[in-house]
Amino acid sequence: MKIKNNNLYIENCNTVDLAKKYGTPLYVISENTILKKIQEIKKEFLDKYYNTRAAYAGKAFLTLFMCKLIEREGLSLDVVSGGELYTAIKADFPGERIEFNGNNKSIEEIEMALDYNVGKFIVDNIYELDLLLELSKSKNKTINILFRITPGVNSQTHKYITTGSKDSKFGIPLQDDIIFPAVKKAIDSKWINFEGFHYHVGSQLHDNTSHLKALYISMNLIKNVKDKFNYQVKELNIGGGFGIRYTDKDITKPISYFVDPIMSKIEGFCVKEKINIPSVVIEPGRFIVGEAGIQLYTVGSIKKIPGIKTYVSVDGGMTDNIRPGLYNADYKCLLANRAKEDKINKFTISGKCCESTDILIEEAKLPNPKTGDILAIFSTGAYGYSMANNYNKLQIPAVVVVRDDYSKVIVKRQTYEDIIRREVLI
């Protein structure tokens, strides 16, 4: 981001011009920022350590364009639904580089994945294991699996995005009478190639403590599998959750802060216990795309309540960014057309939905806004478009990618006709 002539630029594109050309609300994604993050992952993890892999977590932001970019850069792709898998298929993403995650895969989704020959299933529960055994046998296919485990660690993040605690809807509990019979069933099956374990401890993390605690638990589990079944685990997926910068409160860490101690401890443990070093996989999603995105809005009504606050309403809201309403996510913003002006007062940025929780930013320090100003909100590349909805029958915005001074629509703006296309009048 930079400021020229009082206007905000993303790469070499004037955001005010983008708003005029494509309309608002608008998602804008910087391709070069994505590539910079991927290069960091390559330099500090993939190229630095032997037998490693990175699988982009598609839930953060997945479009046909993103699939092709991830494919071109050599990363794998983590999907969690039939819709995400279908997007990858339509983009002709290599099936062997797809990992299918999720806690309640349907029969139809599993069959789609089997037919496309996805590279790996991350099995979330015993029900799914039995279902996979049945369906892979019916299709005469041997599949690769990891067991997603619940390591029972707490993370320093919002409770709604903590995923590794004992009380979690995700993963198999680490009770001997649950995990070890499942491992034995997988090892003994001719339809299953059991490769190892997966864990995910939470999202938007700036501390590696929970990753390291989960790693200790996982490595002991790998040792126990070797001792009990004389079976060498081939792979360990340590998930993602690496935090990004939303506001000045976020002290972001490089990817090396997370992976370096993990790789060191894995090697040390394996040497000490005389077990094979497994392949190690990470699942960055937000880390790759979060800071690459901004959202542009047009200011509409301005409501001043003397002695209380001033509401500045924009032409979008919780339909295109539900994170503030879901878990009080914080963002920074700027008036893109008055970017150098002094920020003299605090304002509450509200959306246009008929919902009191439709507040994007509680206290935004800005010049006095005017109707027609263009408001830019930063770090919205992850979980904005992917969580967009049609509450109040508002249209889902377009997505534009920029690279240097070039811009292109990669998702068209939804029309009113699109909104009611599936409805039937009887």
Give φ, ψ of 299 to 5 degrees.
-70, 135
How far is CA 323 from its chain centroid?
A: 13
Residue type, 324: P
87 close to 74: Cβ distance less than 8 angstroms: no
39 close to 61: Cβ distance less than 8 angstroms: no
225 close to 231: Cβ distance less than 8 angstroms: yes
146 close to 222: Cβ distance less than 8 angstroms: no
284 close to 240: Cβ distance less than 8 angstroms: yes
DSSP, residue by residue, 280-318: EEE--SHHHHGGGEEEEEEEEEEEEETTTEEEEEES--T
Token output for 305: 């309540």
Angle between helices 82-90 and 64-72 (to 10 degrees): 70
How far is it, in rounded angstroms, from Cα 314 to Cα 352? 7
Q: What is the DSSP letter of 329?
A: -
Q: Is 333 a catalytic residue?
A: no
212 close to 258: Cβ distance less than 8 angstroms: no
CB atoms within 10 A of CB 392: 14
Contacts of 408 (CB under 8 A, 6+ apart): 400, 401
Among 67, 270, 333, 354, which one carries the catalytic annotation? 354
How far is CA 242 from its chain centroid?
A: 10
The greatest distance separating any two alpha carbons of the chain, rounded to the nearest whole angstrom, comes to: 73
Residue 315 β-bridge partners: none
Residues designated catalytic: 354
